[in-house]
Structure 1
Amino acid sequence: MKVLHVITGLDIGGAEQQLRLMLRHLPVRSEVVTLTAPGPVARGIEADGTPVTHLGMAGNRDLKALPRLVRVVRQGRYDVVHTHLYRACVYGRIAARAAGVRRVVATEHSLGDRQIEGRPLSAGTRGLYLATERLGSATVAVSDSVARRLEGWGVRPGRIRVVPNGIERGRFGYDASARRAVRARLGLAEDAFVVGGVGRLAPGKRFDRLVRAVAALPDARLLLVGDGEQRGRLQAVARACGAGERVLLTGACEDPPGDPSSGLPSLPALLSAMDVFVSASPDEAFGLAVVEALAAGLPVLYVACPAVDDLPPDAAPGARRIGETVPELVSALAGIREARVGRLPQPAAAHRYDIARSARQVLSLYESLPPLSDKRVTP
């Protein structure tokens, strides 16, 4: 079986790194097209042995990119085209049908209650999505919550398959030596209370609340892993709260590392250096960073995480849902600090969300899809 994955971009991001992990575990011949931004994850995918083609798309309305994508699909003679992220799903489905591919799958990675991929939902966004969704064979939702949102949009339930995001679980076990090494490198005392967060530094992630909460706990330090347009603002908030020296921003961390010479510790090592993990985002499609933190044995505080909420409570005993306000977060962090919560065993949730299991589900979907009509779409 030969599969082409089409994705909007391959800079560092959750969906992008999820694609790389999936490719490492899918037992099929795969190739990748990125419409834009062939960044660090593209280099990592190529280092893993999967070819990546950059389509050079100029923007959302660059219609000249569509015939270029059709040619790539037609020349590759693919059995399946699998699209990821909104723009790639719209253009990729049309191109796949125009090229005569009869199995077309899309994964919906980032559909929240009020946003898609960090942008507010609109009637036009929904209409275009639904119009092109009908050209595919199936739409994969990364959580039960996303599946329900797709149904609410108007996607027929029979066309939706739930295949959760996954992690390479074995890489995330707690490592005491990595904890010591990372803390020494970052100037964190061995007995410091270190609060952690991971993600793109964007407004919707609400890392500003995390900064303010840590500022209210004089002996706490914040280790924030990620980069984005809010970096400068978060630094300003930390200074304004008098916590500038207690807030550490490491920059973006690709996981698994694509460039070992980058110098940044691996994500599992950074998680080992933390004492508690916080996800303050109120609108998530899955919550992969929470699952990674649980796999690292961390107690976790979260505002929204379908990956945990869709499971029985005993599947993630170290996770606790909290309110959105800074005082609620301060209270929860103070409680964990006072209780001296140590490292926890990997919960059942980490086993459920192993990437090898998700890859088997994707392969089974590819093999079970009935061929679409061979009637081609004219782009």
Structure 2
Amino acid sequence: MRRVVVLTRGLPLHHAGGMESVAWDLARELARTAPVTVLTTSLPGRAEFELDGVRVRALPGTPPGRYSAAWWRGSRAALAAELSDGSVAGVLSVSAGAFSGVDLAAGRGARTVLQAHGTSVMELTSKLTSRRLRPVLSSVRNVHGLLRDVATYRRFDTVAAIGPSVERSLTRPPLGRLVAMPPVHLLPNGIDTARFHPDPAAAARVRRELAVPEGSPLLLVAGRLHPQKRVDRSVQLLTGSGAVLVLAGDGPERAPLQRLAAELGVDDRVRFLGAVERGRLPALYAAADVSLLTSQWREGLPMAVLESLACGTPVVTSLTTAPVEGAGDAVTRADATSPRALAATVGDVLERGRSTVPLLPPGYDLASVARRYAVLLGAG
């Protein structure tokens, strides 16, 4: 049986994050039908081990969870070793993970698939339109990233775009004109519906633990508290309402958000949970009446949206977040720059109520998505 090698800078073992969770869930599912090895950055006290049926090689000397010169050197050498016996059918690059070794895979006859969570063009656009000094200044790095992408994308056999906005960015100008792009397939993030599903008992338990008053709507933001995520818009929704807001995540905006909640007089109705283990998320989604994503970033297809739907929880997103095909009114996009429009949209969704059955459209479950990846990787 031919093997699959996945290269990613981070896993949930490094830190909680959407891209990390996507990579690990997909590796676990692929391992049901073919041997899978994941090459990743260093983990304290661990170098090579097996977990959930996946062989993991954490490369020593590489800074955890990020790209570096040591990662580019080390991942290339590690991939060369994996390819040496000719048993590898396909190599999956999570974002830029395999950029330094994609040519080696091609030389050994292994299929190469780039999983694109976004593009440098998307990030550059978001930063330039943020009107904040620090993101605008840091956009210089994205120009360098764009040049790297132009040079590297064409080396892959296939690109898997995780959402429609990513697909458009890859296939239309400027990237579509600058790069002789390989075939681009729209492959959404897959959700493990055995873990993420409606759970009334868990929902009741969570509401008790969080001291949510009987009858009060529960709003949830699951994700990093980063300035570009504009979680302040979600906090402002609490003024003039009896809702409780749960923030499941940590980041540099935590202290400013705590100050904002106090200034608005709603700090008693905001639950700051900090970084949350992924195993706790299904119960939080199941307990929420509405899941919120009020980001000003151009978002591809965030895991938080799909996980919420799998748990029967409707979602309200900003207009910068890509729509979910087939979700219908389970996902409502609103003008998050207008507090009045956002509040009206959330009110409408609350009035309709949450679902007792999953809202995730067909084709977004992990097993279906993994089967499509297996075919592209030559392991199907």
The CA deviation at 1:344 is: 4.9
CA distance in 2, matches of 1:112, 1:327: 32
- Equivalent pairs counted in the alignment come to 347
1:9 maps to amino acid:
G
Alignment of 1:148-159 (within 5 A): 148-152=168-172, 153-154=175-176, 155-156=179-180, 158-159=182-183
Query: d(CA) in 1 for partners of 2:235 and 2:67?
Result: 38
Deviation at 1:209, TM superposition (A): 0.8
1:82 aligns with one of 87, 92, 95: 92
1:1-379 pair list within 5 angstroms: 1-10=2-11, 11-26=15-30, 27-35=33-41, 38=43, 46-55=50-59, 56-58=61-63, 62-77=68-83, 78-86=88-96, 88-93=97-102, 96=105, 100=108, 102-111=110-119, 114-115=122-123, 120=139, 122-152=142-172, 153-154=175-176, 155-156=179-180, 158-214=182-238, 216-255=239-278, 257=279, 266-282=280-296, 283-303=298-318, 304-308=320-324, 311-312=325-326, 315-325=327-337, 326-337=339-350, 339=351, 341-347=353-359, 349-367=360-378
Structure 1 residues 233 and 52: alpha-carbon distance in aligned structure 2, compared to 1, 3 A threshold: farther
Distance 2:161 2:146 in 1: 16
Partners of 1:13 and 1:146 in 2: CA distance: 18
Segments of 5+ residues of structure 2 without an aligned counterpart are 128-137
TM-superposed deviation, 1:342: 4.0
Shift of 1:296: 1.6
Q: Please report how far the alpha carbon of residue 102 of structure 1 lies from its aligned counterpart in structure 2 after TM superposition.
A: 3.5
State the secondary structure of the residue aligned to 1:145.
helix
Instruction: Give the distance between the partners of 1:252 and 1:92, measured in 2 at CA.
Output: 33
Please say if residues 278 and 302 of structure 1, whose CA atoms lie closer than 8 Å, have aligned partners that are also in contact: yes
Q: Deviations over 1:221-257 (max 9, x none)?
A: 10111222222222222122211121112222343x3
Give the SS at the match of 1:110: coil
Deviations 1:25-65 (A, max 9, x none): 112111111135x48xx99x953132222223349784354
TM-score by length of 2: 0.82
**Which residue identity lines up with residue 233 of structure 2 in the other structure?**
R
Q: Which amino acid aligns with 2:302?
A: G
| Structure with bigger RCO (C-alpha 8 Å, 6+ apart) | 1
Identity of aligned residues (%): 28
Give 1:194 shift.
0.9
Amino acid across the alignment from 2:34 = V
CA distance in 2, matches of 1:112, 1:239: 37
User: What is the rounded CA distance, in whole Å, between the counterparts of 1:156 and 1:165 in structure 2?
Assistant: 25
What CA distance in whole angstroms lies between the structure 2 residues aligned with 1:287 and 1:244?
Answer: 27
Which ranges of structure 1 fall in alignment gaps of 5 or more residues?
A: 258-265, 370-379
Aligned amino acid, residue 294 of structure 1: L
Residue pair 1:174, 1:296 contacting (<8 A) in 2 also: yes
Secondary structure of 1:107's partner?
strand
Deviation at 1:307, TM superposition (A): 4.7
Q: Find the residue that maps to 1:302 and give its secondary structure.
A: strand
> Which 4+ residue blocks in structure 1 deviate beyond 6 angstroms?
116-119
Decide whether the 8 Å contact of 1:299 with 1:344 is kept in 2.
no
Q: Residues 317-356 of structure 1: CA distance to partner in whole angstroms, max 9, x if unpaired? A: 322111022222222233344x362435323x43321010
